Amino acid sequence: MTSSELWTRATADRYDAEETEMSSAAVLGPTLDLLTELAADGRALEFAIGTGRVGVPLRERGVPVVGIELSEHMTAVLRRKADEDTLPVTLGDMATTVVPGEFAVVYLVYNTISNLLTQDEQVECFRNAARHLRPGGRFVIELGVPPLRSLPPGQTAVPFDVSDRHLGFDTFDLVEQILVSNHFTRDGDHYRRDNSRHRYAWPAELDLMARIAGLDLECRYADWDRTPFTQDSAKHISVWRKPA
């Protein structure tokens, strides 16, 4: 069993409402543009497809999409948007679950590879992507760059959102490469506390995982709109290619 934490029914039911910004046209438009281009005339496989935030509109653009998802509760929310014939989903983890056929693109968005809490599992995720790709196919990951430069000596926490409705900060275990994402969200007259664990990895570490899986780095951007990646970029969109 993967080390990924399971999404509960309550979390799945409120996920879309709490991620409206990530579902906006401004965010999804460039995401769908790049994935549609990479899929070309082939199929797309989304690891950890969740509620279908990306997979459903990508399917609506005409790209045949298949999903793998660990949480049956997240899949149940997706099923309110698309049936099994339209968008097939297999329950399982992204490191070992295999679905039939070959794909032009396998993709993993919104920091989700960090849900795998060990390096070995992250390597297996790359290998799983490679076994699903047709020759010349691409594996795409969206992942934040660890904000460790924001940590003064002795500090282990970095805030990433401070607003009237939400307070969010990450705490870091620098030895194990584990961050805990902490959220305090206003819910009526009180705040709801949630947290989740993640294994962060640098772009260079992911490149080595790709090499182990037989994939070559093709390009890296700072965002889905293909802004050049620099040392100051807060995240990256990386594309690795399976040799033809």
86-119 residue pLDDT tens: 999 999 999 999 999 999 999 999 999 999 999 9
pLDDT at residue 18, rounded to an integer: 74
* pTM for this entry: 0.94
Q: How confident is the model at residue 1 (pLDDT cuts 50, 70, 90)?
A: low
Fold for the domain defined by 9-145+201-241:
Rossmann fold (3.40.50)
The alpha helices in 116-165, defined as continuous H runs, are 119-132
Q: What is the pLDDT of residues 68-81, one digit of tens each?
A: 999 999 999 999 99
Domain boundaries, the chain: 9-145+201-241, 148-195
Residues near 217 by beta carbon (within 8 Å), at least 6 away in sequence:
207, 210, 238, 239, 240, 241
pLDDT at residue 11, rounded to an integer: 83
pLDDT at residue 7, rounded to an integer: 75
